[in-house]
Chain A
Amino acid sequence: MRILVAMSGGVDSSVVAGLMAEAGHDVIGVTLQLYDHGAAVGRKGACCAGQDIYDAGSVADRLGIPHYVIDAEARFRAAVMQDFADSYAAGQTPVPCVRCNQSVKFGDLIALASDLGAEAMATGHYVRRVDGAQGAELHRAVDEARDQSWFLFATTQQQLGRSLFPLGGMPNKDAVRVEAARLGLPVARKPDSQDICFVPSGSYAEVVAKFRPDAVQPGEIVDEAGTVIGTHEGVARYTVGQAKRLGAAAQHEGTRRVVVGLDAARRRVVVGAPTAGSPVVKLREVNWLVTPAAFDCHVKLRARDTLRPARVVPTAEGAEVHLAVPALAAPGQACVFYQGDRVLGGGFICAA
């Protein structure tokens, strides 16, 4: 069958393209150009395409498959980068990879696959698609360390039905590199990518500042009673539950204090004693991969969280998650529902 492979230029998606071609499929390689690489690394006159796009092209050439580069800059800027900055400006901690998966990858690329007569899109994500009685199910990868199911919770049932994840069953990354070498791919030894792709310098505050200068304006640090106890360098630089950048405000009469709230409207960082968090977490934009109903399951409140026992209850706005043990939940992050290895859905965490 004809399969569109989303190729990033990294080892994982390159191996996917290789495996699909080897299996005899009619493979079309597509690489999204998401942002101006030259501008992102601050090199004037540099090509808009980074090394990864060239690597994807080399891999496709090696495999003898057609390869195309799609200009997704405008869409990525609006759907991912702007949302990223807006979330920080609102005192939240966004997950841009989820937004990217929701919009350009599983939205636009699957539409492109349809337009090109491809029956499915294959990606290098470490998750498994299991075809159950009710259709395609999303499951965690075999390799727990590489599992990306948390980042894919927003994939709709329909998108899931058109997606293939050939690496979900791989035992570990080394096995993927062995496959890359066996297929003779020039990226077999390429290092893994790190961090957020459009923040190559690691300084996300610079990116936020470009879109939302207000989010990096100085303001007051206050305690829970509203007493001003210091100044900060912009709400976008703070995360609930952390003490980073609080300076002297991180200590009060010998006890440790952390950020307990971000009041974006008044540009205030609120500090207080570290708490165990809340027993109830409210979610918005919930994606259900089962019929919405109250159920007991496990949840993850962060990408690398442990599984926490909880009860999920659908609401008009989304869902409420009743945690067996109270926990800190950062607004803007995702809460994903698991039953065993299966993802039942998830949503974005609302401000308390």
Chain B
Amino acid sequence: MAYFDANATEPLRPAARAAVLAAMEAAGNPSSVHAAGRAARRVLEESRARLAACFGAAPAGVVFTSGGTEANALALHGLGIGRRILIGATEHDAVRAAAPGAEMVAVDTTGVADLPALARQLAAGPPALVCLMLANNETGVLHPIADAAALCRAHGARLHVDAVQAAGRLAIDLPALGADSIAVSGHKLGGPMGAGALLLAGDPALPPLMRGGGQERGRRGGTPALPAIAGLAAAAEAAVADLPDQLRIAALRDRIEAAATVAGAMALGAAAPRLANTTCLALPGVRADTQVIALDLAGFQVSAGAACSSGKVAASHVLAAMGLGALAGCAVRVSLPWNATAEDADRLDAAYLEMAGRLLRRAA
């Protein structure tokens, strides 16, 4: 079994596991006034400071959430009040579903946001909240966020960045990025599922999605998931410390991509700047779900498109937005985890070659 679906979830990092277990031993609720409560609050606030430091943010700007979906929804809800919403055409469903009436920002054939088009959209209407992802979950393609941020500032628009896939795989400095907020998710950077965060630049008003007991300075009600949050902070620190290793991951990814290309695949979005760990490989004429199943049966875990909760592989809106309609149903995503090995990559190459040869012959 070899795992190449890191963009779905990263394997747990040892430092995160240790932090989760330690936090689970703490008995208190961070909102309680007594000693146990203070101990729990110390874990919470230390996690907040550590997470903030990973992204150059202020601890006071960190709002812990249940994960990336909630962090994105909170930003769109809280920062978008009274503004029109513009989102990238390749955004994740966490964003798309939270902004059903949003205007789309087009991408080019490599998947990069069309900034001149964005400028025209911003000039054409009232103040906006723009939402763009730093790195795409299916292709790994990066948007030029700093440029987009400058554009937004010039037009009085806010910019929220879905950094769920980029966090822990790229160096991110919130002030340098110029965004108003970023969303991160614990399990996408080697932490446990169940915690994420919205990191705010400055101190904007942020009405909560759930008011509850007024936790997180009134910005997110509900008792914080302390073990998951401690794991998130520890994982983020480990991932950021481990960033130089992304060069090794990139080399493995490039090898897989080269081997797949020889086997007849096209690497989609490869002409654009990308995450080091992601490649989107299309085999023309071969259904993506057949490829995913064939590789799974051979012991290799990859994915395609956005999986529905039923497990069905749906057609990719990301590839469709890139104008790759016909290939959209034929692409699988290989995303290397932080602990990928050269041996696993070699075995994947062999399995992919065998599968592509067999299925392309049949499709011909």
Contact = CB atoms under 8 A, between A and B. Distances in A.
A47 B312 CA distance: 11
Interface string B266-310: 000000000000000000000001100110110000000000111
Given A68-B289, A71-B289, A116 B297 contact: yes
A70 B362 CA distance: 19
Interface in A62-104: 66-71
B359 interface: yes
A205 interface: no
A contacts with B: majority SS: mixed
B297 A66 contact: yes
Interface stretch (A49-57, A133-141, A142-150): A49-57
B309 A115 contact: no
B251 interface: no
Given A66-B296, A71-B289, A114 B362 contact: yes
Range class of the A interface residue count: 20 to 34
A116 B289 CA distance: 11
A67 B293 contact: no
Contacts of B315: 71
Contacts of A111: 362
Nearest to A33: B312
A115 B294 contact: yes
B297 A33 contact: no
B358 interface: yes
Contacts of B36: none
A16 interface: no
B314 interface: yes
Interface string B309-325: 11111110000000000
B326 to A, nearest CB: 13
A49 B289 contact: no
Contacts of A48: 308, 310, 312
B302 to A, nearest CB: 13
B290 A112 contact: yes
B297 A71 contact: no
Interface residues on B, range: 10 to 19
Q: Which of B289, B311, B359, B362 is the most central at the interface, judged by chain A CB atoms within 10 Å of its CB?
A: B311
Nearest to A57: B311
Contacts of B293: 28, 66, 68, 112, 116
A53 B290 contact: no
A221 to B, nearest CB: 45
A49 B312 contact: yes
Nearest to A71: B312
A66 B290 CA distance: 14
B312 A70 contact: yes
Interface in A34-51: 47-49
B359 A47 contact: no
A68 B310 contact: no
Interface in A103-124: 111-112, 114-117
A49 B310 contact: yes
A114 B293 CA distance: 12
Contacts of B310: 33, 47-49, 53-54, 57, 69
A101 to B, nearest CB: 20
Interface in B347-364: 358-359, 362
Contacts of A53: 310, 312
Contact of B297 (A28, A69, A70, A114): A28
Nearest to B293: A68
A202 B359 CA distance: 40
B290 A71 contact: no
A69 to B, nearest CB: 4
Contact of B290 (A33, A54, A57, A116): A116
Contacts of B362: 111, 114-115
Interface in B239-288: none
A236 to B, nearest CB: 31
Contact of A67 (B290, B294, B311, B359): B311
A60 to B, nearest CB: 10
A70 B294 CA distance: 13
A33 to B, nearest CB: 5
A158 to B, nearest CB: 15
A68 B294 contact: no
Contact of B359 (A54, A57, A66, A115): A115
A21 to B, nearest CB: 15
A68 B307 CA distance: 11
B46 to A, nearest CB: 40
Contacts of B296: 66
Nearest to B296: A66
Nearest to A115: B290
Contacts of B311: 57, 67-69
Nearest to A111: B362
A5 to B, nearest CB: 14
Contacts of B358: 115
B288 to A, nearest CB: 10
Contacts of A54: 310
A71 B359 contact: no
A115 B298 CA distance: 13
A329 B273 CA distance: 65
Nearest to A32: B312
Contacts of A112: 290, 293
Contacts of A70: 289, 312
19 contacts: A47-B308, A47-B309, A47-B310, A49-B308, A49-B312, A53-B312, A66-B293, A68-B293, A68-B311, A69-B310, A69-B311, A71-B312, A114-B362, A115-B290, A115-B294, A115-B359, A115-B362, A116-B290, A116-B297
Given A112-B293, A116-B294, 8 more contacts: A48-B308, A48-B310, A48-B312, A49-B308, A57-B310, A114-B362, A115-B359, A117-B297
Interface of A: 28, 33, 47-49, 53-54, 57, 66-71, 111-112, 114-117
